[in-house]
Amino acid sequence: MCTKTIYLSIYLSTYLSICLSVCQDVWGDLKITDRRDASVLGIKASGWTDTVVWNPLKESMGSSKFVCVECAKAAQPVTVPPGAEWVAAMLVTPGQL
């Protein structure tokens, strides 16, 4: 298990030019900080190996106010044989800096 903690600082005003970023081998305990309102989201991931950060880039969807951060198996997708199972979890916890 990866034990490193990755801190992602996302500034929405500069992020809008990027629609998708796949962070390979970034998983475990993640923190997303927004210094504008001193908030933080903690993400605990298990069973995943990658993190995907994306934004739809459509202002009609409010894209200047959010980004999406998801745990993923993007680099090496999982193949689950018939009768088998694969388990992964993502726990998101809001908080203040």
Mean pLDDT by 10 residues, the chain (97 residues): 37 47 82 80 89 77 77 89 94 84
pLDDT at 83: 97
pLDDT at 97: 66
Phi, psi of 12, deg, nearest 5:
-60, -35
CA separation for the pair 82, 60 (Å, rounded): 41
pLDDT at 19: 56
pLDDT at 7: 39
Does the global pTM surpass 0.75?
no
pLDDT at 11: 43
pLDDT at 66: 76
pLDDT at 4: 36
Three-state secondary-structure class, residue 89: strand
